Amino acid sequence: MILKYMTVIEIDGLRKGYRGGTAVDGVSLRVGRGEIFGIAGPNGAGKTTVVECASGLRRPDGGTVRVLGLDPQTDRRWLLQRVGAQLQEAALPDAITVGEALRMYASFYDDPADWRALMDQWGLTERRRTGFGKLSGGWKQRLFIALALVGRPEVVFLDELTTSLDPSARRTTWGLIRDIRERGVTVVLVTHFMDEAEALCDRLAIMDRGRVVATGTPAGLIAEGRCRSLDEAYFALITENEG
């Protein structure tokens, strides 16, 4: 009972196909409140599709998805008030400034965070008058994190947040992600990097070819595969699955 109460994301038998074929083929996941939950896997494994179905951006072909007890399709309006997302490839107009973006996004929510305080917390105040198009990759990601948090979400989806960042900006971003969890927000983190998953995630699911091939804590996955690192465990799992 306690476990069920604490579960904020429940995905069962999720399927989603595209013209080209199947992107997600029977994925089931549980994410608990307050966790940093990782989704890792090679390109085309279906990670982004799972996140897009959970955040209401795509309609599943089959299976059930519940986030905070809500169906992302039918209860979209209510759900979007309570989740935040940083999406792959999404952008803002080049001319919008950091301050304008935060203020405008705050206005979409019934009970938003104080956008000025958020801007301060994420170190964006000195760049408040800078246009989005003039921000470096690291600053753009910082702004995207702040925008994902401006509605005071209970769950945030971060999709390949650090892929385009240099190593030091990645390390900084890890600190930011831990800060989000400190505030009691559940984080779903899609990542390519095993060092990132090992450093940040309480639990993770490893996906390949539209399926979950393993779920567990980083330490658990390493132990199960009798490996020395998560990287090694990951490659063993993917190789076995594709073997």
Partner 1 sequence: MTHMKGLTQVVAVELKLVLREPMSAFFALAFPAVMLWVKMRSDRPLPGGVRAIDATVPMLGVFIIGLTALTVLPATLAQYRERRVLKRLRATPASPVMLFGAQWAAHMLLAASGTALLIVIGLAGYRLAAPGNPAGVLLAWALGALSLGSVGLLIGALVPSGRAATVIGLGLFFPMAFLSGAVIPRENLSGSMRAIGDLTPMAPAVQALREGWAGVAMSPAALGVMAAISVVAGGLALRAFRW
**Chain centre distance of CA 209:** 19
Structure tokens at 88: 């792959």
* Residue 53 token pair: 């179905």
Amino acid at 57: L
Residues of the shown chain interacting with partner 1 in the complex, contacts defined by CB under 8 A: 55-57, 77, 80-81, 84-85, 87, 89-93, 95-96, 100, 103-105, 107-110, 147, 151
Euclidean distance between CA atoms 103 and 114, whole angstroms: 9
Closest CB 27 distance from partner 1, rounded Å: 20
Q: Which is nearer to partner 1, 51 or 222 (CB)?
A: 51
Nearest alpha carbon to residue 177 among 165, 194, 193, 189: 189
Closest separation in Å from C-beta 120 to partner 1: 20
Closest CA to 141 of 128, 155, 154, 159: 159
For the beta sheet containing 83-86, the strands, ordered from the edge strand earlier in sequence to the opposite edge, are 83-86, 155-159, 186-191, 36-40, 203-208, 211-216
86/191 with CB nearer partner 1: 86
Smallest distance from the beta carbon of 47 to partner 1, in angstroms?
Answer: 16
Q: Which is nearer to partner 1, 190 or 238 (CB)?
A: 190
Q: Is 165 exposed, middle or buried (0-12, 13-18, 19+ CB in 10 A)?
A: middle
Question: How remote is the C-alpha of 127 from its chain's centroid?
Answer: 25
CB 163 within 8 A of CB 126: no
Q: How far is the CB of 111 from partner 1 (least distance, A)?
A: 9
Closer CB to partner 1, 81 or 241, in the complex: 81
Of 122 and 132, which CB lies nearer to partner 1 in the complex structure? Answer: 132
Residue 145 Cβ vs partner 1, minimum distance, rounded to whole Å? 13
In the complex, the smallest distance separating the C-beta of residue 148 from partner 1, rounded to whole angstroms, is: 8
Rounded Cα gap, residues 150 and 144, in angstroms: 10
The answer to whether 138 and 127 are in contact (CB under 8 A) is no
Tell the residue number behind the tokens 């279906």, with chain if given.
46
CB closer to partner 1 out of 81 and 217? 81
CB of 236 to partner 1, least distance (A): 35
The smaller minimum CB distance to partner 1, of residues 91 and 223, is found at: 91
